[in-house]
Amino acid sequence: MVGYIINRVLWSIPTLLVITVATFVIIQLPPGDYVTAYIAELIQTGETVDDATAAQIRKEFGLDRPYYEQFFSWIGGIVLHGDFGLSLDWKLPVSDLIWGRLGLTLLISTLSLLLTWAIAIPIGVYSATRQYSIFDYLFTVLGFLGRGIPDFLLALILMWMGFVYFNFHVGGLFSPEYVTAPWSMAKFWDMLAHLWVPVVVLATGGAAGLLRIMRANMLEELGKPYVETAYAQGLSERRVVWGYPVRVALNPFISTVGWALPALISGDVITAVVLNLPTTGPLLLRALQNQDMYLAGGFILILSVFTIIGTLLSDILLVLTDPRIRYS
């Protein structure tokens, strides 16, 4: 197992290098750069910027240098000093911007992921073991509705319900009086009062999809001879179902750890924008829109690292939980 992990880690190094180069190239593909977007924004407000001023701004940001010099300067600062550069748009270090929003992002994403699994696994198992029952049909309909309703629409519905029936400020994670206030128990409880909306929205779509996957996998496993043999030996239904088929049916959940880790960082961008959440998703969207290459590149690089780590973890967990899978 140690050799397998070392081999995967060694392969992740060139993979990460290729992703880093591709990230920088993709960010540079749109016509213009941050200064172009910045000048266009100034023109919309009625200001004028001549070519000499634009060239001076581009020189101050180092955008007049060749692309390869910009790349090596950026990646060298990350590797040697842990410095992701300065955000061209915010005029602040990229690290401060990302880590400043990371805590709330991880909180919302982790709670959403746990709620997704808490809903999908037991309901999927129940639907499979009670196939064609009234509850199976009910959960099937709810699953299709959960997959069919867009997250932003569900967010708007819950915001309306929260405003009409619970009389609390919609949007964001805090009421206006607590947005800039220091942390206290009152601010913490205010956050919990707003937290359920994004958690429920993000968990609904994922739970609906995984529920169908869990049910399908369980139905496939329940019809296999080893399950009939376990029943014939006199084992209880609970022990048979949760001791054997569920372990195999959980493979899709385990294999998606590679996606779950970067999703914890990025979150759902559209939902975060609709709900006005102070998370990393809207920050990444703004960086891409304004061609803030250091902020966008730092985000994508972090997400790539978490994707590689998540994929490695999912491979290891699959080997540990499913004896049919080997390290070779």
SS3 140: helix
How high is the pLDDT of residue 280?
Answer: 87
How high is the pLDDT of residue 33?
Answer: 77
How high is the pLDDT of residue 123?
Answer: 93
pLDDT, one tens digit for every residue, the chain (328 residues): 677 778 878 888 888 888 888 888 887 777 777 888 777 777 777 777 777 877 887 888 788 888 888 888 888 888 888 888 888 888 888 888 888 888 888 888 888 888 988 999 999 999 999 988 999 999 989 888 888 888 888 888 888 887 788 777 667 888 878 888 888 888 888 888 888 888 888 888 888 888 888 898 898 888 888 888 888 888 888 888 887 788 888 877 777 766 777 777 776 788 888 888 888 888 888 888 888 888 888 888 888 888 888 888 887 777 777 666 665 5
- Residues 292 and 37: beta-carbon distance below 8 Å: no
How high is the pLDDT of residue 323?
Answer: 64
Distance from C-alpha of 43 to C-alpha of 34, rounded to nearest angstrom: 14
Question: Which helix (DSSP H) or strand (DSSP E) does residue 145 occupy?
Answer: helix 134-148
Q: In which residue ranges of the chain is CATH 1.10.3720.10 found? A: 94-321
Distance from C-alpha of 265 to C-alpha of 309, rounded to nearest angstrom: 13
- Taking the alpha carbons at both ends of the chain, their separation in whole angstroms is 10
Query: What are the residues whose beta carbons fall under 8 Å from the beta carbon of 14, sequence distance 6 or more?
Result: none
Query: Tokens 């707003």 sit at which residue?
Result: 194
SS3 269: helix
How high is the pLDDT of residue 83?
Answer: 84
- Residues 308 and 257: beta-carbon distance below 8 Å: no
Q: Which two tokens stand for residue 165?
A: 């029936």
- Residues 219 and 128: beta-carbon distance below 8 Å: yes
> How many CB atoms neighbour CB 136 within 10 A?
17
Task: Give the C-alpha distances (Å, rounded to integers) separating 235 from 67, 227, 232.
Answer: 66, 10, 7
Domain 94-321 has CATH 1.10.3720.10: yes
